[in-house]
Amino acid sequence: MIHNSNRAIFLILIPMFLSVGCFAKAPMMTRSTFNTIQEGEAVVEMQRTVGNPYQIRSIAPNMQEYEYIERIDLGMETVEENHYYISVKEGVVVGKRMNTQTPPAYDEIYDDNPNDVELQ
């Protein structure tokens, strides 16, 4: 009897713990987390808060630029992209900047009839 009740508790608790893990959010760069990054902060600490960058570029000897992208969606459409750039020298944040981009509208990218080509 005790064996069956322990098994029932086990069968209830395991799926519950697994489902809680599914709802945990991964760290990511947002405007508010970008504002918390301070010059002089260690990159390891920054990445613990905002996660891994989209891209790392070498911009000078011992200096890299970490790029993070935040896409703001409205339904199925991206309405804004925030690009965050963190300058890092020898493992320490030395500067940061942000650029906001608005992707072109769907009708500006695609033609109604892609096979309708005018020859010049």
Q: Kindly report the pTM of this predicted structure.
A: 0.67
Q: Is residue 62 part of a domain?
A: yes
pLDDT tops 70 at residue 101:
yes
- Give the pLDDT of residue 20: 53
Q: How far is CA 120 from the centre of its chain?
A: 44
102 — pLDDT class (breaks 50, 70, 90): confident
Domain boundaries, position 35? 27-109
Neighbours of 88 (CB within 10 A): 22
Which residues have C-beta within 8 Å of that of residue 74, sequence separation ≥ 6?
Answer: none
- For position 54, which CATH number holds? 3.30.1450.10
Identify the pLDDT of residue 98.
96
For 23-82, what is each residue's pLDDT tens digit?
556 788 999 999 999 999 999 999 999 999 999 999 999 999 999 999 988 888 888 999
Q: For the chain, how many structural domains are there in total?
A: 1
